[in-house]
Amino acid sequence: MTGAGAVPPAVPRPFGLLAELTYRCPLACAYCSNPIELDRYDDELSTAEWQRVFTEAAELGVLQCHLSGGEPLLRRDLPELARTANELGMYTNLVTSAIGLTRSRAERLREAGLDHVQVSVQADEPATADRIAGIPSFARKLDACRLVRELGWPLTVNVVLHRQNIDRVSEILDLVEELQADRVELANTQYYGWAWKNRTALLPSREQLDRAEEIVTTARERLRGRMEVVHVLPDYYSRYPKPCMGGWAQRQLTVTPDGSALPCPAAQTLPLPRASVRESSVADIWTGHPLFTAYRGDGWMQEPCRTCDLRETDFGGCRCQAFQLTGDAAATDPVCHLSPDHHLVENAVERANRPVPVDVELVPRLRHL
């Protein structure tokens, strides 16, 4: 093993850690990116194990610690973990459904040094929001957002967009403005996990996307200086893939509830050796584990990526999406119009631009408590 935080000069240091503290969650969102086999992750890291992970991540250079899940508020030790990350000098962000964010819990997190809160909202009105979330939750989410502002935290509202809510993007922006959020993330669904099972019912049409883009562009100008508006378009409608995670094992790492370490949240789907913080240090995993080195750099690339002028810009796209669509994790992301497998994406887009049959229903994420 290398020394704590030791990284060869040629290996980049990560600056962000996504700490998925638990996959338990009271919601049943049909677009959830958590794994399908949730019971595989029931052996959660203990408080002491997470504290060691945070310490090793900070020594490695991590500056941002995102406390996520599932629903991280289901961890009773959340304030203790937030305090540890804060004392290590990391900027802490709670990514939450806000179900369970009572005043007393929020005050404990504030006292522990939590820096920022990101609340997920499914739509702008109760009936749609509660249907998408799977439980009555809309009113509690709005109360939690107001509590976050009252306690002086910066507030980000995250809204996952898809065919079921994208036509309400104007009203969603009005709601977020009313909540006095500092930032809103309008992120179109990424098709992993439960979202992959529901792709037919979730992928929006080109007309829906164009209309939403026009609304968001206008709102961004109107809200400039008051609220940051982030709009993430779905990969499937792009000519080139996104630079997934800033490049494989370049800037971010994820640790799952059972201690699996991943270069991105969806990488557990790939046929690569498992890395665990219960067996190795964060530095050893980041520096030399086969899971993290497999697609770092460009030596693994096939054509057309190998000779593409954009290979150091988009890094060949998403390895998980390439594997999911083609069965080959080293393939060019089929989102790219140069990919020999681009027809797989074109076919999905063509289906999305037909009327969705009335019998296509969302498969809700299994509630896991």
- Tokens 């439960």 belong to residue: 194
CA atoms within 13 Å, Cβ hemisphere of 112: 22
Confirm whether residue 29 is marked as ligand binding: yes
Per DSSP, the three-state class of 72 is helix
Confirm whether residue 336 is marked as ligand binding: no
Rounded Cα distance, 94 and 70, in Å: 12
- Tokens 């964060």 belong to residue: 282
Yes or no: say if 277 and 255 are a contact pair by the CB < 8 Å rule: yes
Q: Which of 226, 369, 240 shows the shortest CA–CA distance to 304?
A: 240
Confirm whether residue 32 is marked as ligand binding: yes
Length of the chain: 369
User: Token pair of 222, please?
Assistant: 């109107």
Helix-then-strand count for the chain, H and E: 13, 9
Yes or no: say if 289 and 252 are a contact pair by the CB < 8 Å rule: no
Rounded Cα distance, 57 and 88, in Å: 10
- Helix, strand, coil content of the chain in percent (nearest 5): 40, 15, 50
Extract the annotated binding site.
Answer: 25, 29, 32
Extract the annotated binding site for [4Fe-4S] cluster.
Answer: 25, 29, 32
